[in-house]
Structure 1
Amino acid sequence: MERANGSGEGTPEPVWTVAANVVAWRRCGVGGQELRPGTKFFKGGAKVYVAKVYWGPGGDRVTVAGRERHTGRWIVIDTATRHLYGFRPKLVHTPRVLERLREERYARGFTSAEYAVDASATLERYARQYRAATSAGSPHPDRCLCHACLTGEAAYTEGSGGPAAAG
């Protein structure tokens, strides 16, 4: 798993993971009328690496490695898929990320680049569905800053895959 370099120290072998970003703002509270920046552990826009996906309950939780909001330390934590966006396959070379994944027993990442591509597409679809289901039927506040409103996701209905019909 480790390669030897000229200095005699081993460097971790790169692994395929799925990279994503934390949403800038998320809806929460009664009826989704409250907005909060990022998550409790990550700033909005922070890059995280998905180490494990819980496919059984529908991919609503993932284990990610990223820099913690307040201290900047690398942490590995479970988070909701709906709080992430921009899923993409990534070959990780960063020694600190690989070290944290190894400490948490996720050192092998995804088995191949093809699997990481498939997983990233599936996770993006799940994240959109879970964001749409959060406070479904509740109107967004005026000048809403949630991820769905900022990116235009709110204009799409869950089942159609296209823009919602104008009322």
Structure 2
Amino acid sequence: MSGPPEPVWLVAANVVLWRRYGEQGQELRPGTKAYRGGAKVYVVDTYPGTGHRQLTTVGHGRHTGHWITIDTGTRHLHTFRAQLVYGPAVLKRCAGRGFGTREEAEVLAALLERVAREERHAHHGAPHQDGCRCHECLSVTPG
């Protein structure tokens, strides 16, 4: 009989509340097709050859609430951070693929945050409409 699985360091993130969609990004959609806006997800794999534009994530699905594993565009995530994960459901789906130490997970989280910001900025080259509620516009603090 084995005990609980060993915790691993993963990168956690949140799904953007609103994302730009459609021709020139003039429409807004809440969250993603698979995740609700604001949902917490865990990054269990990256694709360095693609410039980290796609990530394999584990989180609660939008429609069923069950745990799902799905590839997600980095631009649809924000607030990347290192987190020691104990949850058996997540550990089962990541199959021991952690990111090593806390420091390694923090370095990856910082890189993914930068890539996500660049991807959101570059994906739709058109200017934002007035009253836009996409993640980038909501993140800007009036100054």
For the superposition of Structure 1 and Structure 2, which TM-score range results when normalised by the shorter chain? over 0.9
- 1:36 maps to which of 14, 29, 37: 29
Q: Which has the larger radius of gyration?
A: 1
- Identical-residue share of aligned pairs (%): 55
CA positional deviation for 1:109: 1.2
- 1:116 maps to which of 105, 111, 126: 105
Give the structure 2 partner of residue 148 of structure 1. 136
For the aligned residues, what is the CA RMSD?
A: 1.6
Of structures 1 and 2, the one scoring higher in RCO (CA 8 A, sep 6+) is 2
* Structure 1: tracts of 5 or more residues without a match: 1-7, 156-162
Q: Which 4+ stretches in 1 moved above 6 angstroms?
A: none
- 1:132 maps to which of 116, 121, 136: 121
SS for the counterpart of 2:4 is strand
TM normalised by structure 1 equals: 0.82
Deviations 1:76-105 (A, max 9, x none): 111100000000000000111111222xxx
TM normalised by structure 2 equals: 0.95
* Distance across 1 between alignment mates of 2:59 and 2:129: 30
User: How many pairs are equivalent?
Assistant: 143
Give the structure 2 partner of residue 4 of structure 1. none
Residue type of the partner of 1:84?
A: L
Would the aligned equivalents of 2:81 and 2:106 in 1 still touch at CA under 8 Å?
yes
* Distance across 1 between alignment mates of 2:127 and 2:92: 44
Deviations 1:117-138 (A, max 9, x none): 10000000000000000211x1
* Distance across 2 between alignment mates of 1:61 and 1:114: 22
* Distance across 1 between alignment mates of 2:116 and 2:97: 24
Give the structure 2 partner of residue 21 of structure 1. 14
CA positional deviation for 1:9: 4.6
CA positional deviation for 1:139: 2.0
